[in-house]
């Protein structure tokens, strides 16, 4: 959906202890990939635990437009009847990826080596985000793109009729770029190689292997070298989507911040390329234990038990950024409640997310009485100690779900209520955020 309805202002008031179980929804990254790879397999992929957030629903709709049959059977239970690698039909409508960078970028990669044309758009946030990071590598396969100035949506991609395989070093740590190149490589003859200097989330590699593609990852002094053999026949899969650590971050943070809290957050995917926040929180002094650690569908999973804790500020090293890239907004809320200063380095990719997340958090935290510092690649938050943030202001969510959820969590433990001007974007990734947090004891109300 290219726009949402009227803004939904929301206020979070200081609350009593959070208790109970937080059943967060399925992983957004794995959900997008399940639909896209399911559409590129021959036959029926069955998915349970799919995230039914708007970002993923927009990807489901897009896969239908490219010719796959996508059916919802019940809550989180979906099937995709795929058309095979190279089998995409040309959509007869504009593909609207709504708010989702992952959706549009992976789909552009997936269609770039088929002889079809597709036009992509999204909401105001997505239309402002850079797409050259995708159009540059897909041009090497032979695809052409025609977008707005600065490589922005709306954009038309003409897929390569006669694609060639590519060797590509990603210029920034980005799983979306890596995945787009690998998905394009699926329909190129021969070997496509992606080299990434810093490891990013590896769901695409794991899932491509699961669907039967020949794919290897080698650690070398230059970084991770991922080699994919093109033109496989992908076999349909049965996928149980693990729960999203990036969504779990919000109830986990809220329980750490609100005195007296103790919650259980079951079945959270703890792939090491995603789990950086939990490591950081433990270094800050958070009381988090990992119970019932196990492997599910090849991914490490555990139940998280989280108790209120006093935090201290730390320096988060730049090399950890890819494993917690979506968690910096909520980390800065935690940092505002820590004793001492938290320094987040190597975070410039935050500037090209749904919003410029450094600027959005900096201005919002200042409005709540917190001192921050920033440069292009660094964000520093001066902690005010447990419960020490004055609050009493309104933060602009900027069409960014993670900014909205972060400030609502801040309000649970600030001295005065915290408001966001628009909580509607939360539906893109965590549609049950408000009822789930309210059931734990949070005081959230529209207005």
Ligand X SMILES: C=C(OP(=O)(O)O)C(=O)O
Ligand Y SMILES: O=C(O)C1=C[C@@H](OP(=O)(O)O)[C@@H](O)[C@H](O)C1
Query: Which residues are designated catalytic?
Result: 326
Backbone dihedral angles phi then psi of residue 198, each to the nearest 5 degrees: -115, 135
Report the alpha-carbon distance of residue 82 to residue 77 in Å, rounded: 16
| Residue, CB closest to ligand X | 101
Applying CB under 6 A, does 176 fall inside the site for ligand Y? yes
User: Which range, of 73-81, 100-108, 369-377, 379-387, touches ligand X by CB under 6 A?
Assistant: 100-108
User: Which range, of 3-11, 62-70, 98-106, 405-413, touches ligand X by CB under 6 A?
Assistant: 98-106
Choose between 200 and 309: whose C-beta lies nearer to ligand X: 200
29 binds, among ligand Y, ligand X, none (CB under 5 to 8 A by kind): ligand Y
- DSSP strand pairing (262-269 vs 19-21): parallel
Q: Phi-psi region for residue 417, left (φ > 0), alpha (ψ -120 to 50) or beta?
A: beta
Cβ atoms < 10 Å from Cβ of 41 = 24
Q: Give min distance, CB of 417 to ligand Y, in A.
A: 29
Q: Is 129 annotated as a binding residue?
A: yes
Q: Give min distance, CB of 125 to ligand X, in A.
A: 8
- DSSP strand pairing (42-48 vs 238-240): parallel
Q: Is 149 annotated as a binding residue?
A: no
Choose between 361 and 384: whose C-beta lies nearer to ligand X: 361
Choose between 120 and 393: whose C-beta lies nearer to ligand X: 120
Report the alpha-carbon distance of residue 112 to residue 104 in Å, rounded: 12
Report the alpha-carbon distance of residue 236 to residue 61 in Å, rounded: 19
Q: Give min distance, CB of 106 to ligand Y, in A.
A: 7
Contact 172, 353 (CB under 8 A): no
Q: Give min distance, CB of 350 to ligand Y, in A.
A: 9
Applying CB under 6 A, does 174 fall inside the site for ligand Y? yes
Report the alpha-carbon distance of residue 288 to residue 174 in Å, rounded: 28
Q: Give min distance, CB of 326 to ligand X, in A.
A: 4
Buried b / exposed e over 368-401, threshold 16 CB at 10 Å, is bbbebebeebebbbbbbebebbebebbbbbbbbb
Given candidates 31, 45, 54, 102, which one binds ligand X under the rule CB under 6 A? 102
100 binds, among ligand Y, ligand X, none (CB under 5 to 8 A by kind): ligand X
Given candidates 353, 355, 372, 442, which one binds ligand X under the rule CB under 6 A? 353
- Sign of torsion over alpha carbons 258, 261, 265, 269: positive
Choose between 230 and 327: whose C-beta lies nearer to ligand X: 327
Choose between 102 and 192: whose C-beta lies nearer to ligand Y: 102
Q: Phi-psi region for residue 387, left (φ > 0), alpha (ψ -120 to 50) or beta?
A: left
Contact residues for ligand X, defined by CB under 6 A: 100-102, 326, 353-354, 402, 429
Contact residues for ligand Y, defined by CB under 6 A: 29, 101-102, 174-176, 179, 201, 325-326, 349
């Amino acid at each position: 959906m290219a726009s949402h309805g009227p803004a939904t202002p929301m206020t979070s008031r200081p609350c009593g202890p959070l208790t109970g179980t937080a059943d967060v929804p399925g992983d957004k990254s794995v959900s997008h990939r399940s639909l896209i790879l399911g559409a590129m397999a021959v036959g029926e992929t069955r998915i349970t635990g799919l995230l039914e957030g708007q970002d993923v629903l927009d990807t489901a709709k897009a896969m239908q437009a490219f010719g796959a049959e996508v059916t919802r059977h019940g809550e989180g239970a979906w099937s995709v009847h795929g058309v095979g690698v190279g089998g995409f039909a040309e959509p007869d409508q504009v593909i609207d990826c709504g708010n989702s960078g992952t959706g549009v970028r992976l789909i552009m990669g997936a269609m770039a080596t088929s002889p079809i044309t597709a036009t992509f758009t999204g909401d105001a946030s997505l239309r402002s985000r850079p797409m050259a990071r995708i159009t540059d590598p897909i041009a090497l396969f032979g695809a052409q793109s025609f977008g707005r100035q600065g490589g922005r949506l709306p954009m038309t991609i003409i897929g390569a009729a006669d694609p060639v395989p590519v060797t590509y070093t990603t210029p920034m740590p980005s799983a979306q770029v890596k995945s787009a190149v690998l998905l394009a490589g699926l329909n190129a003859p021969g070997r496509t190689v992606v080299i990434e200097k810093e490891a990013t989330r590896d769901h695409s590699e794991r899932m491509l292997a699961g669907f039967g593609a020949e794919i290897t990852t080698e650690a070398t002094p230059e970084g991770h070298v991922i080699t994919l053999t093109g033109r496989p026949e992908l076999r349909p899969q049965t996928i149980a989507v693990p729960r999203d650590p990036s969504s779990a971050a919000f109830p986990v943070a809220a329980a750490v911040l609100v005195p007296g809290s103790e919650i259980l957050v079951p079945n959270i995917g703890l792939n090491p390329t995603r789990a950086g926040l939990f490591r950081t929180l433990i270094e800050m002094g958070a009381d988090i234990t990992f119970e019932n650690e196990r492997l599910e569908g090849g991914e490490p999973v555990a139940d998280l038990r989280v108790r209120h804790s006093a935090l201290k500020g730390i320096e988060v090293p730049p090399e950890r950024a890819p494993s917690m890239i979506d968690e910096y907004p909520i980390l800065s809320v935690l940092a505002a409640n820590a004793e001492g200063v938290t320094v987040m380095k190597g975070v410039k990719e935050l500037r090209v997310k749904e919003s410029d997340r450094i600027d959005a958090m900096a201005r919002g935290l200042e409005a709540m009485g917190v001192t921050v510092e920033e440069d292009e690649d660094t964000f520093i938050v001066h902690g005010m100690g447990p419960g020490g943030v004055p609050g009493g202001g309104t933060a602009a969510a900027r069409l960014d779900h993670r900014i909205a959820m972060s400030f609502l969590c801040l309000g649970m433990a600030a001295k005065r209520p915290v408001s966001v001007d628009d909580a509607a974007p939360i539906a893109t990734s965590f549609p049950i955020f408000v009822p789930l947090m309210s059931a734990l004891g949070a005081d959230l109300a529209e207005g």
